[in-house]
Amino acid sequence: MKIGYSTKIVADSILSRAVRRTVSALERDIRNTCLRSGGGFLDIVLKKEKCIPKEEYIQKEEYIQKEEYIQKECFVIKALEHNKLGIYASDDLGLIYGIYHISKTFLSVGEFWFWNEQVFKKKRGYQVPDDYTYESKPYKVRFRGWFINDEVLLSEWKPVVDGSVKEDYPWEMAFEALLRCGGNMTIPGTDFNAARFRDLADEYGLYITHHHAEPLGAEMFSRVYPKLEASFDKYPDLFIGLWEKAIAKQKKYHVIWNLGFRGQGDRPFWADDPSYDTKAKRGQLISKLIRKQYEMVRSHDAGAVCCTNLYGEIMELYQGGYIDLPDDVIRIWADNGYGKMVSRRQNNHNPRVMALPGRGDTGAHGIYYHASFYDLQAAAMMTMLPNSPEFVEDELCEVLKRGGDDSWIINCSNVKPHTYYLDLMAVFWRDGISRDQNDKKYTISNHLSAYVDRYYDSALNKMVEKAYSLWPYYSVKYGPNEDDHAGEQYANHCARILVDSFIRQYHIIENDVDGHHKIAPSLELQWACDRHSLKDQVYYFKEKYEDAVEGYKEYLGFCMSVEDKLKAAGDKKAAIVFDDNLICQVQYLYYSYLGALHICSSIEAVLEGTGDERFIKAFYEAGLSSKVFKKGYDTMRSHEHGIWKGFYANDCESDIRQSYYVAQSLMSYLRVLGDGPHFYKWQRKYQQDAGGDKVLLILRLKSHITDDKMWELIDDQASSLF
């Protein structure tokens, strides 16, 4: 039997919208992978009934002796008579997973075919064994999903599909990839997007759940009542009214109800209501309101599944014994944004309280885990998680060992930069702890090999594997803990903070004992380095950035050599995929850290130097930083082609382009200090026929020039100046 272009997908009953969408996806996969040809190919038959006796669809003794019926979300695929292939399931998700199993197993369409730009080589047909039988097993984790959070790239991207802009397409492709990974749940966006894409998520057959800052998916009190103080004590009926409205709106969906009480946004509620000034008071109110929400939800649906996020400040209160929860509410424990199951760092506060259920705790537990994170400090959102796959494996296996298998919600942000780690995490929510767990290198290596083989059709795949395996090796180590590895935000945010602190304070500083300028340290950077002056912080970051630049230059060189070899071998399409999926991330990091290094050199030149010449040196270094950050931005955008045009346009959180703007602002500020207030000295010194800097009979012979033009004049002489 073969699957070919004329293969039809038929059903013996009316299919739901979710299954129809999946059927359309398989039909598209067949068109993408099969050559147009004549008939004679098998048809795929979908059969969905409640609790199907196994005797109906399977004859093998070893299967008959198992459970009598197909479990929920499971499927059986069996070769049938008359050139047919049957998919049997007792629910929609079982059929959906079965359909995608055929797509991957026989057509080699990967879970992330779209996001990884998988290239298909069409064939006339794909062989299916005449005696083919496959029975899926229940997945290890009950509820499995992605939180499409910080989705700034997806929100502004306007992909052109079949000749017209399709704004929902990024979410369609995200939901499809999630289902292909065996997911069944989503928070479909942040804030307005969460509500906007609920219908679409439901159309894909997914459960809906909520942001940890948005209990029950309700509107924020301060948004609905902007003139009122966000205090439950003062306005209990208004808060409850918002919760009732949210419950009523979501009745038509399959919902995992998130219970909780936080502030107006992603912060503690006592930031808005300071009368709750003790842990006991805070825990008492949170416990009371969670029970109230629980009762409200259960009054509408007695079997409703509820969860609560033990995130940030809530986790600390729970661990301290200040929060009491209904027994059947799933406790969602969160990692710190870097993959470690401890409480997250907030500003300079980093208690690192263990975020796992105690051994022997038999309650319902799950996790909120980050493949992507945004903290304005050291995290990775535009690039992959900086910690190793082996580290992630350790953490997720420990979660499972402690009973955290009721719900996993993974922060996937904009999906494309994080496909490798999302694929790895899905292995554990599907299969649990591998039998090969005692040999981690073997397990991770096998996964990486399968991942690379799926998306790179090349005889040089081992070199591609090597490039991926080096990713965590070059990550910047910024602290003493095993998870203290930095992403691109460590370069961009910290460099911008250094510039901000320098400009804010320079005009009010005093000289130190050596006659150098002494600026107070940035309080925002104490989490990274608690130093006595900004200069000492600059030294600290400069050392980190120097190491990063050296490492990423080497890593980028290796990756570029792999790309060159792919091209030389005639694997041009594989080279493009490699360039867009891995090299682009290494480039983002390299240019970010190089730009940040020049920022440090610029500020250092002022704080360490004397006289007006130091401003020229500092200006020049700031200009180098500006150009490097701009090069990084332009290089990132160069990876947009075809449907991906505009994908990176709204890089607004890590925002390498903002680093470019800040570096330009630093240039302007330094020019004011060194060339102001009349702005003729530097121009006369470096511009030909501008009068020179020795004899001043007339101040200006040439019109004023821009900072960039001034930098170019200095650059022409840089080799003799610095």
Per-residue pLDDT tens over the stretch 165-192: 999 999 999 999 999 999 999 999 999 9
Positive or negative, the Cα torsion across 390, 187, 589, 446? Answer: positive
Residues 628-640: tens digit of each pLDDT: 999 999 999 999 9
pTM: 0.94
The yes-or-no verdict on residue 62 having pLDDT over 50 is no
Q: Which of 520, 586, 530 is nearest to 559 (CA)?
A: 586
| Lowest-confidence segment of 426-430, 554-558, 716-720 by average pLDDT | 716-720
* 8 A C-beta contact, residue 562 and residue 578: yes
| Lowest-confidence segment of 313-317, 425-429, 597-601 by average pLDDT | 313-317
Which residue in the block uniquely carries the two structure tokens 């479909």? 188
User: Which residues are 187's β-sheet partners?
Assistant: 147
**With the CA atoms of 20, 25, 27 and 28 taken in that order, what torsion angle do they form, in degrees rounded to the nearest 10?**
150
The helix-helix angle for 279-300 and 236-249 (nearest 10°) equals 40
State the CB neighbour count (10 A cutoff) for residue 656.
Answer: 25
Which residue in the block uniquely carries the two structure tokens 């130097």? 609
pLDDT computed for residue 545 by the predictor: 98
User: Which residues are 408's β-sheet partners?
Assistant: 144, 367
pLDDT computed for residue 311 by the predictor: 84
The yes-or-no verdict on residue 331 having pLDDT over 80 is yes
CA distances from 271 to 61, 140, 276, 662 (A): 63, 39, 9, 31
Q: Which of 28, 310, 118, 152 is nearest to 646 (CA)?
A: 152
pLDDT computed for residue 63 by the predictor: 41
pLDDT computed for residue 609 by the predictor: 85
* pLDDT bracket for residue 65 (50, 70, 90): very low
pLDDT computed for residue 692 by the predictor: 58
pLDDT computed for residue 89 by the predictor: 94
Residues 453-466: tens digit of each pLDDT: 999 988 999 999 99
The yes-or-no verdict on residue 223 having pLDDT over 50 is yes
Residues 105-164: tens digit of each pLDDT: 999 999 999 999 999 999 999 999 999 999 999 999 999 999 999 999 999 999 999 999
pLDDT higher for 362 or 561? 561
Average the pLDDT over 238-242 and give the result.
97
Tokens of 670: 């330094």
Q: How many CA atoms lie within 13 A of 470 on its CB side?
A: 21
- Give dist(CA 370, CA 348) in Å, integer: 20
* pLDDT bracket for residue 60 (50, 70, 90): very low
Nearest-Å Rg of the Cα atoms of the chain is: 29
pLDDT higher for 721 or 530? 530
**DSSP annotation of 214:** S
The yes-or-no verdict on residue 336 having pLDDT over 60 is yes
Which residue in the block uniquely carries the two structure tokens 């219970």? 259
| Count, residues in the chain | 722
Q: Which of 187, 175, 237, 185 is nearest to 217 (CA)?
A: 187
Kind of pairing between the strands at 407-411 and 476-477: unpaired
| Lowest-confidence segment of 210-214, 295-299, 667-671 by average pLDDT | 210-214
Tokens of 49: 């009934």
For residue 164, how far is the Cα from the chain centroid? 27
User: Which residues are 34's β-sheet partners?
Assistant: 123
Average the pLDDT over 669-677 and give the result.
94
The yes-or-no verdict on residue 247 having pLDDT over 80 is yes
The percent helix, strand, coil of the chain (3-state, each to 5) is: 45, 10, 40
The yes-or-no verdict on residue 452 having pLDDT over 50 is yes
* 8 A C-beta contact, residue 490 and residue 524: no
For residue 353, how far is the Cα from the chain centroid? 23
pLDDT computed for residue 587 by the predictor: 98
Q: Which of 180, 134, 139, 116 is nearest to 428 (CA)?
A: 139
Q: Residue 655: left (phi > 0), alpha (psi -120 to 50), or beta?
A: left
Which residue in the block uniquely carries the two structure tokens 């009745």? 251
pLDDT higher for 700 or 668? 668
Average the pLDDT over 53-81 and give the result.
66
pLDDT computed for residue 64 by the predictor: 38
* 8 A C-beta contact, residue 144 and residue 184: yes
* pLDDT bracket for residue 693 (50, 70, 90): low
- Give dist(CA 492, CA 659) in Å, integer: 6
pLDDT computed for residue 51 by the predictor: 54
The yes-or-no verdict on residue 55 having pLDDT over 80 is no
Element (DSSP H or E) covering residue 125: strand 125-127
The yes-or-no verdict on residue 435 having pLDDT over 70 is no
Average the pLDDT over 679-695 and give the result.
74
* 8 A C-beta contact, residue 369 and residue 409: yes
State the CB neighbour count (10 A cutoff) for residue 294.
Answer: 19
The yes-or-no verdict on residue 66 having pLDDT over 50 is no
Contacts of 107 (CB under 8 A, 6+ apart): 3, 29, 30, 33, 34, 126
* 8 A C-beta contact, residue 281 and residue 234: no
Tokens of 51: 């609790």
